[in-house]
Structure formats: structure tokens, C-alpha cells
Structure 1
Amino acid sequence: MALSLVLLLGTCVRGLLYAIPSLHETLSCRPELVTPISSFYRLEEGVFLFHSTGSPYSGDVYHQPPLLFALLYPVLQFIYYWPWAVAHLCAKNLKLEEGRHFEIRGREIWRSQVPVSPLFRPENLPTTAAFIALMNPFTLGSSIAMSTVSFTHLAVLYSLVFASEGAVAASMMCVAVGSYLSVYPFFLMLPIMLLLSSAKTDTTADNKASGVTATLGVKCLGIFGLWLGLLFYLSWSLNGDWTFLEETYVWVAKFSDLTPNIGIFWYFFMEVFDRFIPYFLFVMHLHPVIYIVPIYLRLAHRPQAYACALIGTFSLFQAYPSFGDFGFFLSLLALHPKTIMTIENRFVYVIGLGAATCMLPVMWFLWLFPASGNANFFYNQTLVYQIFSSQIITAFTKVETRE
């Protein structure tokens, strides 16, 4: 009953907010919620270019994969908001299922004896996690802005749930879909393999995963490669050539669009000399990847926490981050109540994150409208947001490594 009420509440809230056109128009332009690779307006511009020239990539506007365009193009002619609503509701249903896996199989989150609210007891955890995921301001704002990151998050959630059930083929298919939409889900391959391994073998009393065998690794990579190859083949069939690779993945790798966002790339590449751009592109794209192995060495026995830590890391340090990415991490964080209660200074982190979130649009306004500020105003608040967000991720990882 409680689960149904939570889903009904999330549906009603989104329905009411979608019914306010001015709210959608405002949020869909906010740099904190949408990026050049997740913007609904750019998707609409891609539709216009498709009608005019036969290709959504003919202008330097649309840079999302062809299959996503093919999926959304028919429904954009009618009720344009329902794919986002369906994606979010499916994701929250999966969050319920993942919460049940944490309750049934993920006993490590209850090992320490830290007292928690009854809302976070094992029997109530799925409902509470779903409520936080549905009503989280970051994910709610991303939903109303119709950011296409919702579809990437849906694929990642499916991969985690299927991995918890030991379904190798289904899990790798979802990883391939997520990697096709956004490259970063590929780097979740290792924690997903650990989840598959722990689902297929008997764990010890302290619920340590058995590790990834060579057979499982080869099987996962093979299935992943087949699914990704199929997606690329379908994209080639739709597009007629391979130019979509240049307009999507290579375009992101070059960081061609310096539109301000809540990341650290845009301001940096506005200031750096042209001859240093290739070097710093390599360094900054590599930066989040270097955390994969160190976190693995400390959290290999807790694949759920390992996946959560990596999702949080990439939500900050990817090329085009948004509130929706960090909101997805916060939703997964709700599945670790004991860890949350053990984090020191958690209230300071929450207040700092909230203050930075509120000040970002203020500094944006001061920069662009009354001309009483400049780009430094907005970028400074971006750094404050990054600092408090990274502190939350670091504190979560630190507590998990002590368990």
C-alpha cells in the first residue's frame, strides 16, 4: 500500500508540474539541469533539422545518439512529456526492486549497529528509497526540464538490478545501452561484474563477494561487445553513414561546446592556450577514470557501494555534468542508511550543498542580466557546489571502506 502511494504521489506531482508550461520552459534552459548532450530544446532543433535537411546532425546543435532520436521523434509530435514520465516511473520501480535486493541479499548495509530511523529499517527501505528518488529536488528538476539523462539512468538501474539477480545477458545489454547513450556507464562494468559474481556464488558470513573470474569477465565483455555492436549497426542503418560517431562521442571528447554548466571543464578551456588543449583534454577525461582501481581495492567486497561511489565520482567529473546526475547518486545513497548515519558533518555537507544549489542561478542572473558580475561569479559557485558534492562522495567512500 505504501509503495503504491509513493508512486501515485510521484506521478501526481510530475503531472501537476508538467501542466505548467512556463515552469518547463524555464527549467529546460537552466545550465544546472540540462547540457548540450541532454537538452530537450536541442532535441527539438534536431527534429527541425531532420525535416529541413534529412539529418539532425547537419547543424552544430544536436549531439545525441541516433537511436535516441529515433525513439523520441514519433512521440514528440504528440504528448511530448510522457517518455520522461515513463522513464522516471520505471526507474523508481526499479529503485524499489533494488532496495529489496539490498534488504534480502545486501546484508552488509546493516552490519554496524548505528541506530537509524524506522523509515530506513530493512522492511521500509524500498519505499523510503523510492520516495527520495521521486521527490529529490535534483531528479525532480531534471525530470521537469526533460533532460535525456533520465534514459541513461534508467539503463544503469536496469543493469544493477539484473546484475543483482545474476542475469548476465540482460545486465550487459543494459550496460551497452547506457554506454551507447553516455560513455561513462561503461566504467561501471567492474562493480556490475562483482554483483554478478556475488549473485552466482554463495557468499561468506560477512557477505563478501567472491571476485570476478576470468570466465565471467570474458563472458561479460563478449556479450557487452555484441550488444554495443548491434546498437552501432542500427545507428549506421538509420543514419546511412558513420558521421554520427563524429557528432556524438568524438564531439564530447573534444569538448567543443563551452556552454557554462556545473562542471569544471568549460571555464578551464575558456582560459587555456590553444596549444595546451589536447593535453588537458586527455588529463581531464582521464581524471575520473583513475579512481576506478583504487576504489575497487577498498570496496571490492561491497559491489553495491562500489557502484554508488563510481556513479557519484562520474556525476561530478564528466565533461557535461548536471544536477540530474548527482541526484541519481543521492537516490542510490539512500540505499545505504547505516553509512549515511555514520558520516561525520553530514548536516554541514547538506547545508553547503543546498546553499551552492540556490546561489548558482543567482550568480547566473547577476552575470548575464544586470551585468553586475562576470563568469567568475558563476564559476566560483560551481566550485563550491563541486567541493561539497565531492565531500559527500568522499565521506561515503571513507565510511564504506571502514566497514
Structure 2
Amino acid sequence: MAAPVLYSVILAILLRFVCFRTYLSSILTDRIEVVTPLTSWTRIIEGITLMEQGISPYAGDVFHETPLCLHLFKFLHSISPAIIPAVFIGIDMFIGVVLYNAAQHGVIYMLKRQKKEQIRYAKDVEMLCVKQTAYLDVPKLVLYIYLLNPFTIFTCCARSTILLSNLAIAGAFLFTFQDSCSKQQGYSDWAGLGR
């Protein structure tokens, strides 16, 4: 990752950190635009409290999160509630890196496929073809769009557990593109491109 990418990651971390340190985080925690009853941090705290009281959080209609997430956040909350914002920021940055890598593999896949099918293309469609510079540009663009998108910043600052779902989806994209690229011949020629 080049310097502009590093600067955008630092800016994204700072934006989220400032958002967590201001009153904006407490406002966003209850806004239906960024959290739902399924992904609300307030519901996670209620589930942890019910669990600590010896009551099943799933007995009523208050808590809807998975048991794995409940135990994960209970463990993190027991260590120190102050690390929760850092965990959410870290997850969000990791999603950005996963999407960056998925975009790289996606461009590799498209370039290889285009090269293989180029004989079937018309002569005047070169403007529509994927350029090799896309290998460097598209992943950066994907990273910038994800990390600097106000909606993703607000979702992170609201402590929405949708970040875990986003991480799973981004991982699925990455592994799908990795598998598609590795099944094509000559993948190793493209894997070192631009590094």
C-alpha cells in the first residue's frame, strides 16, 4: 500500500476515534438509520446483563444476537469497556483491508478473463476493456470508498454489530476471488503485478 492509502487509513482511524470521543457516538447508538434491534449495542449490553443475572437473554424478545457474538462481547466487556471502541475501529479497518485484497483479486480475474476472451471482442471496444492500471487504481478506490464513507463511519461509531456481518461478506468476496484467480492458468504471473 502506497502513501496515499496509508494516509487514508490514518484519516479513517482518526475520524472514527473523534466520533467515539464526542457526543455523536451516543446519539448514533440509538438512531434507526445505522442500527436495528438485531445489531444494536444497547441490546448487546442488555444481553450481557441478563446473562450475568443468570437469565437467558433469549428467553424474551429483547436480544437477537448470536451466542458467539454475545460471548465475544461479554469477554471484551469484562476485560475493559474502554477497549470496545478500539475493537470496532480495528474490525472496520480490517474489513477495508479485506475489501482492498478482494478488489485486487477481482481485477486480476477480470484481466485474465479479458485476455483469454479478447479474440471474440470487436475491434472498436478497447475503450470498454479493463486496463492494467486498474490493478492499482480499483483496490485503492474500493478502500477509499469503504473507509471514508460516512455511513460506515457512523455504523462503526454506533457500535453496530453489523460490522461482523460485513466482515463475513467481505471475506466471502475475498475467498471467492482468490479461488477464481487460482483456478486460472498463469495466476502467479499476475500475482506479483504492481508490487
Band of TM-score, shorter chain: 0.7 to 0.9
Query: Residue 202 of structure 1: CA displacement?
Result: 4.5
Query: Residue 71 of structure 1: CA displacement?
Result: 0.9
Query: Are 1:113 and 2:127 an aligned pair?
Result: yes
Structure 1 residue aligned with 2:145: 132
Query: Are 1:92 and 2:96 an aligned pair?
Result: yes
Letter paired with 1:15: F
Query: Residue 105 of structure 1: CA displacement?
Result: 2.2
**Inter-partner Cα distance in structure 1 for 2:176 and 2:4:** 26
Query: Are 1:9 and 2:1 an aligned pair?
Result: no
The Cα offsets for residues 113-170 of structure 1, whole Å up to 9 and x where unpaired, read as 259xxxx94422212211110111221111111111110110111122122222xxxx
Letter paired with 1:105: Y
The Cα offsets for residues 304-361 of structure 1, whole Å up to 9 and x where unpaired, read as xxxxxxxxxxxxxxxxxxxxxxxxxxxxxxxxxxxxxxxxxxxxxxxxxxxxxxxxxx
Structure 2 residue aligned with 1:23: 24
The number of aligned residues is 169
Query: Are 1:58 and 2:59 an aligned pair?
Result: yes
The Cα offsets for residues 194-213 of structure 1, whole Å up to 9 and x where unpaired, read as x4xx642459xxxxxxxxxx
With normalisation by structure 2, the TM-score equals 0.77
**Inter-partner Cα distance in structure 2 for 1:62 and 1:160:** 29
Task: Determine if contact 2:100/2:139 at 8 Å carries over to the other structure.
Answer: yes
With normalisation by structure 1, the TM-score equals 0.39
Could you say what the CA RMSD is over the residues aligned between the two structures, in angstroms?
Answer: 2.6
**Structure 2 unaligned residues grouped into runs of 5+:** 115-124, 187-195
Letter paired with 1:151: L
**Inter-partner Cα distance in structure 1 for 2:104 and 2:134:** 12
**Inter-partner Cα distance in structure 2 for 1:50 and 1:9:** 38
**Inter-partner Cα distance in structure 1 for 2:152 and 2:139:** 17
Q: For 1:9, what is the secondary structure of its paired residue?
A: helix
Query: Are 1:153 and 2:166 an aligned pair?
Result: yes
Question: In 2 relative to 1, CA 114–106 (structure 1 residues): closer, same or farther, beyond 3 Å?
Answer: closer
Q: Kindly indicate whether structure 1 or structure 2 has the higher relative contact order, using CA contacts under 8 Å at least 6 residues apart.
A: 2
The Cα offsets for residues 168-206 of structure 1, whole Å up to 9 and x where unpaired, read as xxxxxxxxxxxxxxxxxxxxxxxxxxx4xx642459xxx
Task: Determine if contact 1:49/1:57 at 8 Å carries over to the other structure.
Answer: no
Letter paired with 1:157: A
The Cα offsets for residues 384-403 of structure 1, whole Å up to 9 and x where unpaired, read as xxxxxxxxxxxxxxxxxxxx
Query: Are 1:104 and 2:118 an aligned pair?
Result: no
**Inter-partner Cα distance in structure 1 for 2:63 and 2:86:** 21
> How is 1:67-216 mapped onto 2 (pairs within 5 angstroms)?
67-77=68-78, 78=80, 79=82, 80-107=84-111, 113=127, 121-166=134-179, 195=180, 199-202=182-185
Task: Determine if contact 2:107/2:134 at 8 Å carries over to the other structure.
Answer: no
The Cα offsets for residues 350-389 of structure 1, whole Å up to 9 and x where unpaired, read as xxxxxxxxxxxxxxxxxxxxxxxxxxxxxxxxxxxxxxxx
**Inter-partner Cα distance in structure 2 for 1:9 and 1:129:** 15
> How is 1:246-325 mapped onto 2 (pairs within 5 angstroms)?
none
Give the stretch that moved more between structures: 10-19 or 98-107: 98-107
**Inter-partner Cα distance in structure 2 for 1:89 and 1:154:** 10
Task: Determine if contact 1:38/1:64 at 8 Å carries over to the other structure.
Answer: yes
Give the stretch that moved more between structures: 51-60 or 86-95: 51-60
**Inter-partner Cα distance in structure 2 for 1:70 and 1:8:** 30
Query: Residue 54 of structure 1: CA displacement?
Result: 3.9
Letter paired with 1:36: P
**Inter-partner Cα distance in structure 2 for 1:50 and 1:7:** 37
Query: Residue 93 of structure 1: CA displacement?
Result: 0.5
Query: Residue 10 of structure 1: CA displacement?
Result: 0.9
Question: In 2 relative to 1, CA 150–68 (structure 1 residues): closer, same or farther, beyond 3 Å?
Answer: same
Task: Determine if contact 1:49/1:58 at 8 Å carries over to the other structure.
Answer: no
Letter paired with 1:7: V
